[in-house]
Structure 1
Amino acid sequence: MVNDRVFDHLIVLGVAFLAAVVLTPIVVRTVTWFGLLKAPGGRNVHTKPTPEFGGIAMYVAVLIALAVATQLPAFRAIFGTTSEPEAMVLSSALIFWVGLLDDSRPIRAIVKLAGQVLAASVAVIFGVSVHYVYIPFGDGQIVSLSGELSTLVTVILIVAMVNAVNLVDGIDGLAAGIVCIASTAMLIWVLAPATTPYPSLQGAASLILAALIGTTLGFLVFNFHPASIFMGDTGAMMLGFLLGTASVSAIGNAITPSSSDFVVTAIPVLIPAAVLAIPFLDVLLAILRRTIQGRPIFSPDKNHLHHRILKLGNGQRGTVMILWGWAALIAFTVVGPVLAPFRPVLAFSAVGGVCLLIATWVPHWTRRHFNTDDHEETTSA
């Protein structure tokens, strides 16, 4: 039976989903009427001009869901005792406008980064921050951060999440799906019985995560291949920002944690970090590749991970579903051991990894096999 707290989260999720489904077609028509279409070519993989600015619909959907949440019993205490929801709304508005400006008239990378840092700093000023860091080496210890160091760590974490999501937004549905998977895993963790002794997890994080899940699911109705609209930097940076601030919020800072407590409460940060580990690795490889080639590190190319999977013979839908599969598998591996016995989780993860590897390479092997057969038939003829 679904308890009242979970039911209220489902209401927020449902409202966000419906709002995104209703608002996205309106944005599509409006953007198309103004002729604000993203042309194909270059590093882009789409084949026809497509509306951008889907982030507008997603951001408004999140705001509507949060407005409804103010009237729900599970969230009244949150709005009455902490400034985190307001902090996330205000600071995400800054990142939204930075993305909107970049989508309207591309801005320099350093200017975009400055806007991200400013938005993250505003979130910190209003109380969204990391005060403790767990050092896993040796016997493990908790390090209390000074005010300046706390600000620095929090800003770096949020900005890293913003750029990680922005970088995976290179193919229809990929970024929205990965954010949805990470948010779902985090929300399951926050609402799980194993975390109920940790009241710090009952803050604004679960509310933001429910809104993110509903919003991304609603947007995917129109963003899955063939996409009728792209989220643009407006949407990608906003999603990454809210995911990052929700992660920080979920750690909790009300009391000084013990080592065991901190391992439990730090999981919400580990989940998106693990899910986005592949994009982070992709970024590092891109920087290394461009440095070796003597090219600027911000210069675009078509050698990112999703481009390489496409080149193996997977279509856009297949490529996205493979990457979604890896994200879901990683999220399950992180969350699973607390919700189920470790050995079955490990076994399932191993089998899932093998299946995903096979799914990734089968089109390439099949194409090579048939090409070889065709060549032999031609030669014998």
Structure 2
Amino acid sequence: MKAVLISGGLSMVLALLATPLFIRLLVRKQYGQFIRQDGPTAHFTKRGTPTMGGVVIIAATLIGWGGANLFTGNVPSASALLVLFLMTGLGVVGFLDDYIKISRQRSLGLSARWKILGQGVVGIVFSVLALQFPNENFRTPASTQISFIRDTELDLAWKGATVGLILFVVWANFLITAWSNAVNLTDGLDGLATGVSLIVFGAYVLVAVWQNNQSCQNILTAGPRCYETRDPLELAVVAAAITGACFGFLWWNASPAKIFMGDTGSLALGGALAGLSILSRTQVLAAIIGGMFVLVVLSDVIQIGWFKMTGKRVFKMAPLHHHFELSGWGEVTIVIRFWIIAGLFVAGGVGVFYAEWVTG
């Protein structure tokens, strides 16, 4: 538990103090946000606001996690390294996307082909490695079984290890792409994605700590009162570092934002959420805990699908937060209410997680 507290506290302080320094650097280099022309007109005033703030979130997370391990003498686990690799790898893809937008002064960065390729390469490497590194109980960081609160009986390796590996890579990359794009779509208002991420990753600190306290450390087969997660405490340390980094960054990202996280931050946070859900064996539960992100994606899917079928729009503009903007809601009002909804989803998800243990 000491490592969890140090990780969260250190990353928060680093993000809080480093963000204004990074803002000055970006202003000096004139790396400002380019605003899409078809968005709400109120956003035009944000043109030129420094972006790529995700660099601070990633750096604070890595240093906070590393500092916690250094102070407590913990040896880095495979699970923690895999989540951090996925977070940093997708952050690099997002950074390239942001840099192209800034350097070419346009709202489009990497082409869809290169963006998907970048996400795919990082996702495939993560997926393959996640099935390696068995511990003394022969447990690997991930498994080929689809998980809800723990692994279910639905095993992707039902026709053999090779087929299982291929299907797992496909499934894991679907989750990685879905979550990274979900956070990316939510990052449309000052502090919105950062605040929702803070709440969601905070929930994963609780989930991973609980799993550690009820871990099947010396049991080959999990029972109804213990969890097969390979390195739950280390996952809690990573989740705490991300939570702390979001806390510190939110101070500068809240309305009126002095800096945006950009695709650097949104893809990194989405990747980290996907990684935590896969390695903590809570793949489906994550859709409840991160329900606010899911709602935003659904609004986009509904808007596009309905328009293609009927030529009409369900929302004034998608994603969902822009619909409320065009309906006359203030930006701060939308953000705070979405934070509240995110908190309700998290409460529901954690409640389901605990209820399963109680009934088990």
Query: Under a length normalisation based on structure 2, what TM-score does the superposition of the two structures give?
Result: 0.78
- Partner residue of 1:96? 91
1:291 match: 308
Is residue 233 of structure 2 the alignment partner of residue 235 of structure 1? no
- Aligned residue for 2:194? 176
In 2, Cα distance between equivalents of 1:241 and 1:305:
22
- The TM-score normalised by the length of structure 1 is 0.74
Q: In the alignment, which of 21, 31, 34 is matched to residue 26 of structure 1?
A: 21
Residue pairs, 1:189-228, within 5 angstroms: 189-192=207-210, 195-196=214-215, 197-198=226-227, 200=229, 202-228=232-258
Does the Cα contact within 8 Å between 2:33 and 2:50 map onto a contact in 1? yes
Residue of structure 2 aligned with 1:160, choices 164, 175, 178: 178
Q: Mark the CA change 1:249 to 1:72 in structure 2 (over 3 Å): closer, same or farther.
A: farther
Contact 1:51–1:229 under 8 Å retained in 2: yes
Instruction: Give, in whole Å, the separation in 1 of the partners of 2:342 and 2:326.
Output: 20
Alignment of 1:353-372 (within 5 A): none
Q: 1:315 to 1:69 in 2, by over 3 A?
A: same
1:70 corresponds in structure 2 to 69
Structure 2, unmatched stretches of 5+, are 101-108, 131-140, 158-163, 216-225
* Greater Rg over alpha carbons, structure: 1
Kindly indicate whether residue 309 of structure 2 is the aligned counterpart of residue 280 of structure 1: no
1:307-361 deviation digits (Å, cap 9, x = unpaired): 11223332111100111111111111121255579xxxxxxxxxxxxxxxxxxxx
**Which sits farther off after the overlay, 141-150 or 315-324?**
141-150
Indicate if the aligned counterparts of 2:12 and 2:244 stay in contact, CA closer than 8 A.
yes
Counterpart position of 2:122? 119
Q: Identity percentage over the alignment?
A: 27
Q: 1:307 aligns with which of 315, 322, 326?
A: 322
Q: Indicate how the Cα distance of structure 1 residues 247 and 204 shifts in structure 2: closer, same or farther if over 3 A, else same.
A: farther
Answer whether contact 1:98 1:112 (CA < 8 A) is retained. Answer: yes
Instruction: Tell me the CA shift for residue 113 of structure 1.
Output: 1.3
Deviation at 1:134, TM superposition (A): 5.2
Q: Residue 133 of structure 1 aligns to a residue in which SS? A: strand
Which residue in the other structure is 1:16 paired with?
Answer: 11
**Separation in structure 2 between the aligned mates of residue 21 and residue 155 of structure 1, nearest angstrom:** 32
Please name the residue that 1:143 is paired with. Answer: 155
In the TM superposition, what is the alpha-carbon distance from 1:184 to its structure 2 partner? 1.3
- Please list the CA deviations of residues 192-227 of structure 1 after superposition, one character each: whole Å capped at 9, or x if unmatched: 378453252625421221111101111100011100
- Structure 1 distance, partners of 2:257, 2:123, is 30
2 CA distance for matches of 1:304 and 1:110? 22
Q: CA RMSD in A?
A: 2.8
Structure-2 change in CA distance of 1:161 and 1:338 (3 Å) = closer
Alpha-carbon distance change, 134 to 310 in structure 1, aligned in 2, over 3 angstroms: same
Count of matched residue pairs: 312
Partner in structure 2 of residue 329 of structure 1: 344
Shift of 1:92: 3.1
Aligned equivalent of 1:376: none
Contact 1:87/1:122 (8 A) holds in 2: no
The range that moved more, 312-321 or 166-175, is: 312-321
189 and 230 in structure 1: CA distance in 2 versus 1, 3 angstrom threshold: same
3-state secondary structure, aligned to 1:171: coil
What amino acid does structure 1 have at the position aligned with 2:227? Y
Q: How many Å separate the matches in 2 of 1:63 and 1:85?
A: 11
Is this contact kept in 2: 1:186–1:268, CA < 8 A? no
